[in-house]
Amino acid sequence: MYEFAFHRAADLDAAASLLANADDGRVIAGGQTLVAAMKLRLSAPSDLVDISGIASLAGIRVERGVVVIGAMTTHAAVAASADVLRAIPALADLAGTIGDRMVRNRGTIGGSVANNDPAADYPAAVLALGATVITTQRSITADDFFNGMYETALEPGEIITAVSFPIPRRAGYAKFPNPASRYALAGVFVADFETGVRIGITGGGGGVFRDAAFEEALTRNFSPAAIEGLSVYVESLSGDLHASAEYRAHLVGVMAKRAVTAALADR
């Protein structure tokens, strides 16, 4: 690692002030991505601002048809939450598949969403459920939040405080995980609302994305058979040593059917 200054913020105002006064400050929550990047010297912030001690950033509540999850809530807490299991079981299931036990007990939803790894699980749920990302400055809809690989609409110094998920009629998530990292080689989150179906696809390209053809077919007929033969554009996907773009396109179709099957078992 390079040399850096470490600060533990007492509240959000203190965190914002520390970031504003740093040459290249970064927020650290669970640290499951940032610390690894720093150890590999892929990231070298001048200052780390630790927000893990801000109690108001953790917790889960259900209100007026939405599930609101504080940014510092861990994956393990989401997976075990009785409120999430009742309201959006697929979201709890997703959280339980992230990484390993250590990652789930340290990693946070806010950190995952802010990092926007192209193979991460939470972005698929945020996009499919039409969630709202709440920050210290504003509220950002899911469709406006993700801007491609590791890029989001967050401005310098802006900190995620919570994510608000509308409760669907039913939802499901399925992914084909990398056996080592548990990141998704392809993952699909499907959410069925009265207004129609939304899907979020992760692990396939430069970032999480939706697919209109899948959504339209499932809105007409919410069943695995409705998307038989559909495929995402191979040109929009990435290939690497783990899987070719063509194989990922195939996996998206398979995972979409599994997600729909899981959603049908949800309600």
Q: Which residues pair with 61 in a beta bridge?
A: 68
User: Sorting pLDDT into bands at 50, 70 and 90, what band is 1?
Assistant: low
88 is written with which tokens? 């959006």
Q: Which residues pair with 160 in a beta bridge?
A: 135
Q: What is the pLDDT of residue 182?
A: 87
User: Sorting pLDDT into bands at 50, 70 and 90, what band is 131?
Assistant: very high
* pLDDT, tens only, 68-112: 999 999 999 999 999 999 999 999 999 999 999 999 999 999 999
Query: What is the value of pTM for the model shown?
Result: 0.94
Q: Strand 160-166 relative to strand 66-70: parallel, antiparallel, unpaired? A: antiparallel
- Residue with token string 């990141």: 183
Distance CA 101, CA 220 (A): 39
Residues near 222 by Cβ (< 8 Å), separated by ≥ 6? 192, 197, 260, 263, 264
HSE toward the beta carbon, residue 246, CA cutoff 13 A: 0
Contacts 24+ apart (CB under 8 A), 226-233: 226/260, 227/253, 227/256, 227/257, 227/260, 228/257, 230/256, 232/201, 232/204
> How far out from the chain centre does Cα 75 lie?
11
Q: Is the pLDDT of residue 146 over 90?
A: yes
Task: Report the percentage of the chain scoring pLDDT > 70.
Answer: 99
Q: What is the pLDDT of residue 106?
A: 93
51 is written with which tokens? 């927000």
Q: Strand 139-141 relative to strand 132-135: parallel, antiparallel, unpaired? A: antiparallel
Give phi and psi for 101, each to the nearest 5: -60, -40
Q: Which of 76, 107, 67, 68 is nearest to 94 (CA)?
A: 76
Give phi and psi for 43, each to the nearest 5: -140, 135
Nearest 5°: CA angle at 234, between 230 and 232?
30
**Bigger pLDDT: 243 or 211?**
211
Q: Is the pLDDT of residue 267 over 70?
A: no
* pLDDT, tens only, 34-52: 888 888 888 899 999 999 9
Write out the DSSP string of 66-113. EEEEETT-BHHHHHH-HHHHHH-HHHHHHHHTSS-HHHHHH-BHHHHH
CB 185 within 8 A of CB 251: yes
Mean pLDDT value across residues 118-122: 93
